[in-house]
Amino acid sequence: MRWVSIVQVSVVAAAAAATFALVSSPRVEGQARVAGIPRINGKPDLNGVWQAVNSANYDIQAHTAKAALQMRPGPVVPVPAKEVIALGAVGSIPSGAGVVEGDELPYTAEGLKKKQDNQANWLTRDPEIKCYLPGVPRATYMPFPFQIIQSNAAVFMSYEYAGAVRHIYLKDPGPPQIDSWMGMSHGVWEGDTFVVQTSGFNDQSWFDRAGNHHSDKLKVTERYTMTDADHITYEATIDDPVTFTRPWKMSMPLYRRVEKNAQLGQFKCVEFVTELMYGHLRKEPIK
């Protein structure tokens, strides 16, 4: 496995942030509905704020609603450490039809064992809880909008969750030089479908809160196909020979946010997890 220093990650993040500042604006004007598929130089115009509306972030497979969990209190809740709290409906999971083709994940024996272990310990292991970057394709169907910024020269994706970003190279950049949470992406047009191939991942991100995971050999092929001005059919093919016995696919619609003031908010969740990550280092626990 290839590892990346904090300095390397910071340099990449700073470059991405600078690119985002140059090519984007905080608000997307002109999100009103229009007839047909908008185009830019003959290609479908993906510019806008988009969002998935499903429960895939809980579990990408079909699942029923689950009762509220008995969880250990969060680190900032002033109750005795051994006490538990019932979260009621707030901590419950909504049902979902699933987004996986055939509703089957072809895990290897070891991959399935790790998934089950992750699921049993998701409250302490899920990268989302710790505000780590969401990875691909999870960034697409988290319950937060994301923005696509498209021109003839570049395609850029910015996600509300944790300030995650992706620069989609339109010329093949060659093999990834480092492993990262969001990987390195190369996009090409196949007719009216924008196809993005991403690799160079670390093995830390999950597909959902159910503990579905991958290795650093993961390769994701995404397909963005506009069906009208306000909808994209999104497909992601997952290829990871270490974790799965064969490639598999998920799909879902993406919806354009059509409010006049549609824009990404700020969910820079690092400050929300400081106590969770480092509270045990306090000389005096919070009372």
Helix-, strand-, coil-residue percentages of the chain, each rounded to 5: 20, 30, 50
- Quote the CA–CA distance of 104 and 28 in Å, as a whole number: 38
- Find out whether 60 and 250 touch, Cβ atoms under 8 Å: yes
Helix (H) or strand (E) holding 188: strand 184-190
Where residue 127 falls (left for φ over 0; alpha for ψ -120 to 50; beta otherwise) is alpha
Tokens of 103: 């509703």
Predicted pLDDT at 84: 58
Long-range pairs of 115-123 with CB within 8 A, sequence gap ≥ 24: 115/210, 115/211, 115/212, 115/213, 116/211, 117/211, 118/206, 118/211, 118/212, 118/213, 119/210, 119/211, 120/211, 121/211, 122/209, 122/210, 122/211, 123/69, 123/71, 123/72
Closest residue by Cα to residue 232 from 266, 195, 188, 207:
195
- What residues contact residue 190 under an 8 Å CB cut-off, 6+ apart? none
- Quote the CA–CA distance of 4 and 176 in Å, as a whole number: 12
- Quote the CA–CA distance of 24 and 5 in Å, as a whole number: 28
- Find out whether 161 and 127 touch, Cβ atoms under 8 Å: no
Predicted pLDDT at 55: 97
Confidence (pTM): 0.84
Domains observed in the chain: 6-56+98-281 (2.40.128.20), 63-96 (no CATH)
pLDDT by 10s per residue, the chain, length 287: 444 333 334 334 444 443 443 344 455 554 555 568 999 999 999 999 999 999 999 999 999 998 755 444 443 344 445 555 667 787 788 999 999 999 999 999 999 999 999 999 998 899 999 999 999 999 999 999 999 999 988 999 999 999 999 999 999 999 999 999 999 999 999 999 999 999 999 999 999 999 999 999 999 999 999 999 999 999 999 999 999 999 999 999 999 999 988 999 999 898 888 888 888 888 887 76
